[in-house]
Amino acid sequence: MNYEIILATNNAHKLKEVREILSPHKIVVYGLNDLNLKPEDAEENADTYQGNALIKARSVQKLTTMPIIADDSGLEILAMDNKPGLKSARFASECGGHDKAIQTILDYLKDKEDRSARFICDIILLNEGDKPLLFEGIVSGHIADKPFGEGGFGYDPIFVCDELGKTYAEMSQEEKNKVSHRGKALKKLLTYLKINGKAI
């Protein structure tokens, strides 16, 4: 039997990536729209990724008894004191979109020697009655001199993943899912679900 789960996100790109990674393992991932769920806007005001993921998951838990996962993620750039970090989505909207945010980052880093960065993804699983469980993925890399590649979303064109030596946006979706922060967090979630007989 399939294991059915809700992903508490408004980000269609996240939903696509999570689906692609989990569905081969007999896990059906529903988005909020699929089930016509409209959680109240909960302010993501925690000071950790896991805290924000829990806020998102709890806001959906009020509306359903199904298992829920929520993803809070961000890009930390060392030379920017680990910003935009927790506020990666807000930084992009304040800049006027990801293209402008990317340009702001590139301008800031123009004369900086250290361009190291990392992507973090915290996934919280909420199952009725159970304590929230955390699955984390972290990927090291650096910020490219200019945008490269057409794939992906968000900051993908400037994040060079050290493992493959190219930006997320230059990778196929399959490649990104294998090495990405989200892919790594989901791999840990999958191991947990397999051990508990919920996934193949």
Residues involved in catalysis: 72
Of all helices (H) and strands (E), which one includes residue 169?
A: none
CB 147 → ligand ITT: shortest distance, Å? Answer: 12
- Asked if residues 136 and 121 have their Cβ atoms less than 8 Å apart, the reply is yes
End-to-end CA distance of the chain: 10
Interface residue with ligand ITT, options 67, 137, 141, 152 (CB under 6 A): 152
Q: Answer yes or no whether residue 122 interacts with ligand ITT by CB under 6 A.
A: no
Q: Which DSSP category does 60 fall into?
A: H
Interface residue with ligand ITT, options 37, 57, 92, 144 (CB under 6 A): 92
Nearer to ligand ITT, 72 or 170 (CB): 72
Q: Going residue by residue from 181 to 200, which x/- string records binding to ligand ITT, judged by CB under 6 A?
A: -x------------------
**Rounded distance between C-alpha atoms, residue 83 and residue 5, angstroms:** 31
Q: Answer yes or no whether residue 15 interacts with ligand ITT by CB under 6 A.
A: no
Q: Answer yes or no whether residue 177 interacts with ligand ITT by CB under 6 A.
A: no
**Rounded distance between C-alpha atoms, residue 200 and residue 194, angstroms:** 6
Of all helices (H) and strands (E), which one includes residue 76?
A: strand 68-77
With contacts defined by CB under 6 A, name the span among 10-18, 60-68, 128-136, 189-197 that binds ligand ITT.
10-18
Nearer to ligand ITT, 14 or 198 (CB): 14
Q: What are the beta bridge partners of residue 79?
A: none
Q: Answer yes or no whether residue 148 interacts with ligand ITT by CB under 6 A.
A: no
**Rounded distance between C-alpha atoms, residue 23 and residue 15, angstroms:** 11
- 43-82 residues in contact with ligand ITT (CB under 6 A) are 44, 56, 71-75
With contacts defined by CB under 6 A, name the span among 9-17, 60-68, 140-148, 185-193 that binds ligand ITT.
9-17
Q: Packing angle between helix 181-195 and helix 12-22, nearest 10 degrees? A: 40
Q: What torsion, rounded to 10 degrees, do the Cα atoms 191, 126, 186, 197 define? A: 30
Q: Report the interface residues with ligand ITT, using CB under 6 A.
A: 9-11, 14, 44, 56, 71-75, 88-89, 92, 152-156, 168, 180, 182
